[in-house]
Structure 1
Amino acid sequence: MSLANKPIRKITVALAALWFAGSAAAFNLDSDIPITVNADNARLDDGQGIATYTGDVIMTQGETELTADRVVLYRDENGLQRIEATGQPAHYQQPAREGEGKTDARALNITYSAPESRLTFEKEAVIEQGDNLFRGDIIHYDSVERVVTAEGSAKDSGGSGRVEIVIQPRSGQNRQDSNGSSQGQ
């Protein structure tokens, strides 16, 4: 890309960020914090309500961040409706809150449904929240309630058909020792 095209690209990305920030933030529809988008390229179709970003895309709202190779945003008269991200892998991070660990997730495809505040991670999906781990072919994550559901891949597609979940014990609760006796932490 020539140096002459770089200022145009930056202006396009800045306008795109303003286009979506006016309606609602990507990860919290009730927030006044705008979305910031950085990418190598951007294409806005205001008539269709679609913005497409490609090349090292970084989308943030406060401390929430989505990074991907390609991100497509869909907007209608009610505001932002959907975000679709693809990458090798695409990556989502949400800060810790109320004693829970930071959420760090990745998958080849990430879809965010704004009306449902729901993220769907597909293909090679992994969510880590603190020391807890969720791994599966498809993982649904309610970003408000912080509820995770996971599905294994089909055995005929080469997967095990199972999910992996590692949940750490809560501190301060009784835990069983290897001999079966309880002890406080």
Structure 2
Amino acid sequence: MALGGMAQAQGMQVAFGSTAQDSGLPVEVTAANLDVDQNDGTAIFTGDVLVGQGEMRLSAPRVQVVYLADRSGIARLQATGGVTLVSGEDAAEAKQADYDVQSGMIEMTGDVLLVQGPAALTADKMSVDTVAGTAHMNGRVKTVLQPEKQQ
């Protein structure tokens, strides 16, 4: 019974990914379609979009790329329509994700599911710090804690 309260905590810090991610690495995007708007500095990739950066992979039906004001690089990636994020052995799913490429922070929202080996956690929101290799889950965090097996 004591574990039940901890399993539904409001916030939880967890490790994410096998190693820290270098947010300065190139970002590779593949998709079925690309629409570019030179006026607002965005590009929209649709159809089986796969984004790769180092060991990290993000997939979604739609990813909008927002460039820096001076167009010298990418400011952020906004993925929608059901997002999967994989880094090392860890995988997370959510309805949408917003990746700030400069800071290395990823905000995943909407029915977040994090799977780490045999463990699974759910929450309303997960903030991933790709540089530190950590994540913070909040908003109805839930997991099942298994007691240590006695020999």
- TM-score, normalised to structure 2, is 0.72
Question: What fraction of aligned residue pairs are identical, expressed as a percent?
Answer: 29
For residues 134 and 29 of structure 1, the distance between their equivalents in structure 2, rounded to whole angstroms, comes to 25
2:5 match: none
Higher relative CO (Cα under 8 Å, sequence separation at least 6) belongs to 2
For residues 145 and 67 of structure 2, the distance between their equivalents in structure 1, rounded to whole angstroms, comes to 37
Considering fraction of residues, name the structure with more strand.
Answer: 2
Is 1:86 aligned with 2:73? no
Considering fraction of residues, name the structure with more helix.
Answer: 1
1:164 match: 142
RMSD: 2.5
5+ residue gaps, structure 1, are 1-26, 96-101, 153-161, 170-174, 178-182
2:63 match: 71
Write the deviation string for residues 42-96 of structure 1: whole angstroms up to 9, x where unpaired: 0122343211011111122344211111000111135211111012x2111112x
2:34 match: 42
Is 1:137 aligned with 2:131? no
- Structure 1 contact 74–83 (Cα < 8 Å) conserved: yes
User: Amino acid of the residue matched to residue 91 of structure 1?
Assistant: T
- Structure 1 contact 132–168 (Cα < 8 Å) conserved: no
User: Amino acid of the residue matched to residue 50 of structure 1?
Assistant: T
For residues 120 and 80 of structure 2, the distance between their equivalents in structure 1, rounded to whole angstroms, comes to 21
Aligned length: 129
- TM-score, normalised to structure 1, is 0.60
5+ residue gaps, structure 2, are 1-20
